[in-house]
Amino acid sequence: MTIENSDRQKRSWYLRKSWLYVMCLVFFPLGLIIVLRYRNDLQRDERREYIGIIIISSFFWALHLLPDHLSGLIFALVLVSLMIIGVAQLARK
């Protein structure tokens, strides 16, 4: 399902695509609040995209708060687990 160009222009300024990208990348708690609050106004694919961006940016933020000797290990574990999930998804298809 695609949104017509006129429907995009009818959206409020805080629901426009570029603004939501900035909120999800830079201020991810506010972006999460906006996405969850107005989830009925967004398409399903858009919601998933924004929540995925929020999860990735919150992971890097939490990784920054960890001690240096743990951050590399956790980053490597997450990358390996994502690669295993990706290979499993490809093998399933």
Domain that holds residue 60: 5-66
Residue 30 falls within a domain, yes or no?
Answer: yes
Inter-residue contact 28 to 58 (CB < 8 Å): yes
Residue 85 falls within a domain, yes or no?
Answer: no
- pTM of full prediction above 0.75: no
Q: What is the pLDDT of residue 80?
A: 92
Residue 25 falls within a domain, yes or no?
Answer: yes
Residue 27 falls within a domain, yes or no?
Answer: yes
Q: What is the pLDDT of residue 3?
A: 56
Inter-residue contact 31 to 50 (CB < 8 Å): yes
Residue 72 falls within a domain, yes or no?
Answer: no
The ranges of the chain with pLDDT < 70 are 1-9
- Spatial CB neighbours of 20, under 8 Å, sequence gap ≥ 6: 14, 31, 34, 35, 50
Total structural domains within the chain: 1
> Could you tell me how far CA 24 lies from the centroid of its own chain?
7
Cα dist. 87→15, 48, 83 in Å? 34, 21, 6
Q: What is the pLDDT of residue 33?
A: 92
